[in-house]
Amino acid sequence: MLPCHRPEQTRAYERGHPHHVELVDGHKDDKKPDVSATKVFREYFGVYHVRWPRLTAAAFARASAAYEDDWESDDVKRAASATGPMTRDEAATLVRAWLAKVDRGDFYETSALLFVLEALTSTDDVLEALVRELEALPESRWNAAEAADGNPAFAAFASGFLLLRSAERAAFAKRLEALYEATVKAGVVASEHNLRGALDLALHGNEGAKRTLAQSHWQYWYWYLHVDDPAIHLARLANNAKSEWVPEPRLLWLAGDAPRDYLRENAAYARPKLERMANGSGASAVKAKAALALL
């Protein structure tokens, strides 16, 4: 793993940084949280990354459960008008509502919702709700195609970050392992887009990636966020026929010097893309600036 300058940085990455949420009080966007909450994915590709305005975060979590295909709908606006404290029971209800949605889903929206709820309540409150809902999924949703039903896989993958911060990590991991074994026994084909593959990636890191991503068409690099084998990352980096690299400082921390050195050697390829993204807005710009700082 790539050494950090300060011990607190190392500790943050060990706990999943930057895949978590820190709440900010007094943010200017909290003057109209019901408006800023619906802009998170309507106007930007994730306008907030780690640091979220507190009231906007609460509004976003509630609006997400009401969201179908229109951030401007009356139901979404009504849900986003509630910015008060979040209880454990309400968080569990919102997790249930999100996983009840049978649609393509979105990696970033699903992660943002879970990490916002974690910040508003606690890691183990959200993990309990998430694991319970994943356990309750009918087998018909274990192997759904990405375009039809992506939320179970996105949520299962995000559980890997929650586990890193959990006080009850062993107990939750045991339940998720049992669910993973059930999908294997049921003959679900390994794919990052279904429950089996996402759990394999979240729970088993390098070995999960070898099983699940070997035949993947796109191999989006965010599916490698629990992999710390430099060889796996270098093989992924070297294949430009796959999806473009999305900057992610955690990947450089996980894989150590090798990916960083590769990017430095191929700066003509990597740096212009990073600089363009860094000059943009939203979470991608934040990631690009962090990745540039590591090169």
Let me know whether 170 and 94 are in one domain.
yes
Residue 177 sits in the same domain as residue 262: no
Judgement on whether residues 77 and 130 belong to the same structural domain of the protein:
yes
Using pLDDT thresholds of 50, 70 and 90, give the confidence band for residue 84: very high
Looking at 225, 251, 276, the residue that finishes a domain is 225
DSSP-derived letter for residue 31 is G
Same-domain status, 98 and 145: yes
Partner residues linked to 53 by β-bridges: 24
**Res. 173: pLDDT tops 70:** yes
pLDDT in tens, 141-166: 998 765 689 999 999 999 999 999 99
Distance CA 236, CA 245 (A): 9
Asked if 251 contacts 225 with a C-beta cutoff of 8 angstroms, the reply is: yes
* Number of structural domains found in the chain: 2
- Measured CA to CA, the distance from residue 7 to residue 3 in angstroms comes to 9
Task: Give pLDDT, residue 117.
Answer: 98
Q: Specify whether 78 is located in the same domain as 199.
A: yes
Residues 64, 157, single domain; the answer is yes
Average pLDDT of the segment spanning 48-55: 92
- Confidence label for 281 from pLDDT (cuts 50, 70 and 90): confident
Tell which of 225, 248, 282 closes a domain.
Answer: 225
Residues 247 and 287: beta-carbon distance below 8 Å: yes
Q: Same domain for 11 and 21?
A: no
**In terms of domains, do 109 and 30 share one?**
yes
Structure tokens at 169: 């990590």
217 vs 142, more confident: 142
pLDDT tens digits, one per residue of 103-121: 888 888 899 999 999 999 9
* In a shared domain, residues 122 and 235: no
DSSP 215-267: T-SS--GGGGTT---HHHHHHHHH-TTSSPPPP-HHHHHHHTHHHHHHHHHTH
Mean pLDDT over residues 50-73, rounded? 91
Looking at per-residue pLDDT, the higher value among 24 and 253 belongs to 24
Cite the DSSP H helix spans in the chain: 7-14, 33-42, 54-66, 74-80, 88-100, 107-120, 123-136, 151-165, 169-185, 195-212, 230-238, 249-255, 257-265, 267-278, 283-294
Same domain, residue pair 230 and 279: yes
Quick one: pLDDT at residue 69?
77
Boundary of a domain, candidates 165, 193, 225: 225
Rounded to whole angstroms, the Cα distance separating 94 from 129 reads 9
pLDDT given at position 128: 98
* Residue 132 binned pLDDT confidence (cut-offs 50, 70, 90): very high
pLDDT tens string 219-277: 787 899 999 998 888 777 776 655 455 667 788 788 777 767 776 776 666 677 778 87
44 secondary structure, DSSP code:
S
- Structure-model confidence comparison of residues 245 and 100, the more confident one: 100
Kindly state the average pLDDT of the residues 90-105: 94
Torsion of CA 135, 224, 294, 263, to 10 degrees: -170
Average pLDDT over the chain reads 87
**Residue 173 lies in domain:** 16-225
List the single range of 79-83, 185-189, 248-252 with lowest mean pLDDT. 248-252
Q: How far apart are CA 6 and CA 23, in angstroms?
A: 22
- Position 162 scores a pLDDT of 98
Question: Cis bond leading into 247, ω under 30°?
Answer: no
Which of the pair, 219 or 122, is modelled with greater confidence? Answer: 122
pLDDT on residue 287: 72
206 and 231 inside one domain: no
220, 232: one domain = no
Is residue 40 within 8 A of residue 136, CB to CB? The reply is no
Q: How far, in Å, CA of 135 to CA of 179, rounded?
A: 7
